[in-house]
C-alpha cells in the first residue's frame, strides 16, 4: 500500500530556510531513485552503504545547481573502495525533474565486509565538480578524506573551500514495507549557515589536519544560532527521515518550529543516465584501428557497457577509431 506522503515526497529535495537563524537547508527523500542506483549492480553491503550515502549527498548538494548544469561527486581512496562516483543533472527546464546516477569501483579481494564502510576508502580525497555547459571552465574543489563518514568529508569541503558551515544528517537502508518488495530508501537533512558579508575565516583551521570547521568561521550570535540548530537536528530519528509517515514539512516544524521554517518548491529527482552510442563512439575516436582490433571480440564486434546504468552497446569495429574517419 502506498501512502499519500510517499506519493508527495519520495524522490524529492525540499529547500527551506530558518528565518530566525540565518540558516538554509534541504530535506531529501530518495526511494525509487536509490533503489535503481543500487540494483544496477550486485554491490557488497559496505559498498552499497557508501554509494547510498554519496547519492544522498549528491541530491542535497546538487539541488542548488542551475538548469542544465551538472554536479559530480567523486570519492577516491587507496583502500579497497577505490572510487565512488555520482552525477546530478540539473533539470532541462523549469518543472522538470533532476537526474541522478552513481556507481562504485572496488577491490573485492581486499574488502572487509565486517568493517565500517568509511574505513574501506583509506587515504584519498573528496571532490566536487560543477560543469556549467559548453564554453565554460568546469569548477573542481577537493578536500582530503577526513572524519568518520562521507558526510564529514562534505562538511569539511564546504568549510574549507566555500567557508560555509554545513551539516548533514542522513539515514538509508533496505525497507520491508507491507505490500511492497524489499527496496532501498534514504533520507536526510542539510543545514548551511548563510555566509556573513565580509567575513574572513582563519587561515589555519582547528579541525583534523588543520582543516577549517564552523568554529573557525562563525562568531557571536551566528555561532549561537548555528549551535542551536545543530542541537535540534541531533534529535531527528532515522524513521523520520526515511519513513513514509512523516512528510518533510511536518518534520521541519517538529525540529525547528521556533526558528521560523519557511519552505520553497520541492525539486523532483529521478534516476537517469546520459550515456549513448554516440558518446561511446566519440570516446572510441581517440583509438587507432590497431587499438580497436585488440578490443574486437571473436564475434567481430566491439562491446561497451555503461558503468552507471548497465546499458550494453555493440558496434562494428570498422566504424570506430580515428583511422575510420577519412580526411576530406
Q: Are 59 and 269 in contact (CB under 8 A)?
A: yes
Nearest Cα neighbor of 98 from 49, 55, 129, 136 is 55
* Helix segments in 108-235, DSSP class H: 150-157, 220-233
Q: Are 99 and 89 in contact (CB under 8 A)?
A: yes
Lowest-confidence pick of 123-127, 150-154, 263-267, 324-328:
324-328
Nearest Cα neighbor of 71 from 54, 53, 88 is 88
Which residues in 138-166 are b (16+ Cβ under 10 Å) and which e? eeeeebbbbbebbbbbbbbbbbbeebbbb
Q: Looking at residue 161, what is its pLDDT?
A: 87
Same structural domain, 92 and 188: yes
Q: Looking at residue 285, what is its pLDDT?
A: 83
Q: Which residue has the cell 563512439?
A: 281
Same structural domain, 33 and 118: yes
Report the mean per-residue pLDDT for the chain: 88
Domain endpoint, select from 234, 256, 271 = 271
Does the pLDDT value for residue 198 go beyond 60? no
If phi over 0 gives left and psi between -120 and 50 gives alpha, with beta otherwise, what is residue 161?
Answer: alpha
Nearest Cα neighbor of 25 from 320, 185, 232, 294 is 232
Same structural domain, 108 and 221: yes
Lowest-confidence pick of 106-110, 182-186, 250-254:
182-186
Residues 6 or more apart whose CB falls under 8 angstroms from that of 288 comprise 321, 322, 323
Does the pLDDT value for residue 234 go beyond 90? yes
Cα–Cα dist 180/201, whole Å: 50
What does the pLDDT look like over 6-37, one tens digit per residue? 447 899 999 999 999 999 999 999 999 999 99
Q: Looking at residue 168, what is its pLDDT?
A: 98
**1 part of a folded domain:** no
Same structural domain, 317 and 233: no
- 74 band by pLDDT with thresholds 50, 70 and 90: very high
Please tell me whether residue 145 adopts helix, strand or coil conformation. coil
Q: Which residue has the cell 564475434?
A: 299
Q: Looking at residue 103, what is its pLDDT?
A: 94
**20 part of a folded domain:** yes
Does the pLDDT value for residue 328 go beyond 50? no
Phi, psi angles (nearest 5°) of residue 124: 175, -150
CATH of the domain at 290: 3.90.1280
Q: Looking at residue 4, what is its pLDDT?
A: 39
Cα–Cα dist 185/124, whole Å: 28
More confident site: 168 or 40: 168
Widest distance between CA atoms in the chain: 71
**252 part of a folded domain:** yes
Same structural domain, 240 and 112: yes
Q: Looking at residue 9, what is its pLDDT?
A: 86
Number of folded domains that form the chain: 2
CA dihedral sign, ordered 248, 161, 155, 167: negative
Q: Looking at residue 323, what is its pLDDT?
A: 63
**2 part of a folded domain:** no
Provide, rounded to the nearest whole percent, the portion of the chain with pLDDT above 70: 91
Q: Looking at residue 245, what is its pLDDT?
A: 82
Range of the domain at 104: 8-271
Q: Are 245 and 5 in contact (CB under 8 A)?
A: yes
The stretch 44-66 carries a mean pLDDT of 96
Amino acid at each position: 500500500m502506498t501512502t499519500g506522503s510517499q506519493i508527495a515526497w519520495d524522490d524529492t529535495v525540499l529547500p527551506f530556510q530558518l528565518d530566525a537563524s540565518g540558516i538554509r537547508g534541504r530535506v531529501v527523500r530518495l526511494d525509487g531513485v536509490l533503489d535503481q542506483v543500487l540494483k544496477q549492480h550486485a554491490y557488497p553491503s559496505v559498498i552499497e552503504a557508501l554509494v547510498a550515502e554519496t547519492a544522498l549527498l549528491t541530491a542535497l548538494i546538487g539541488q542548488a545547481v542551475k538548469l542544465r548544469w551538472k554536479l559530480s561527486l567523486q570519492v577516491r581512496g587507496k583502500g579497497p573502495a577505490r572510487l565512488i562516483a555520482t552525477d546530478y543533472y540539473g533539470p532541462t527546464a523549469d518543472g522538470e525533474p533532476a537526474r541522478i546516477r552513481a556507481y562504485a569501483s572496488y577491490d573485492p579481494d581486499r574488502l572487509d565486509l565486517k568493517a565500517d564502510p568509511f574505513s574501506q576508502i583509506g587515504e584519498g580525497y573528496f571532490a566536487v565538480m560543477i560543469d556549467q555547459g559548453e564554453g565554460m571552465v568546469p569548477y573542481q574543489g577537493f578536500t582530503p578524506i577526513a572524519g568518520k563518514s562521507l558526510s564529514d568529508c562534505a562538511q569539511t569541503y564546504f568549510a574549507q573551500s566555500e567557508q560555509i558551515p554545513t551539516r548533514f544528517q542522513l539515514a538509508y537502508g533496505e525497507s520491508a514495507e507491507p505490500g511492497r518488495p524489499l527496496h532501498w530508501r534514504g533520507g536526510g537533512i542539510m543545514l548551511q549557515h548563510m555566509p556573513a558579508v565580509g567575513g574572513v575565516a582563519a587561515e589555519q583551521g582547528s579541525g583534523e589536519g588543520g582543516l577549517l570547521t564552523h568554529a573557525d568561521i562563525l562568531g557571536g550570535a551566528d555561532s549561537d544560532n548555528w549551535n542551536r540548530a545543530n542541537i535540534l537536528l541531533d534529535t531527528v530519528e532515522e524513521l523520520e527521515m526515511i519513513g513514509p509517515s512523516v512528510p518533510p514539512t511536518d518534520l521541519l516544524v517538529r525540529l525547528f518550529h521556533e526558528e521560523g521554517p519557511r519552505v520553497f518548491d520541492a525539486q523532483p529527482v529521478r534516476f537517469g543516465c546520459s550515456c549513448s552510442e554516440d558518446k561511446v563512439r566519440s570516446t572510441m575516436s581517440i583509438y587507432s584501428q590497431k587499438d580497436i582490433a585488440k578490443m574486437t571480440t571473436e564475434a567481430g564486434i566491439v562491446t561497451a557497457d555503461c558503468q552507471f546504468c548497465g546499458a550494453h552497446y555493440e558496434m562494428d569495429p570498422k566504424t570506430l577509431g580515428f583511422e575510420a574517419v577519412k580526411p576530406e
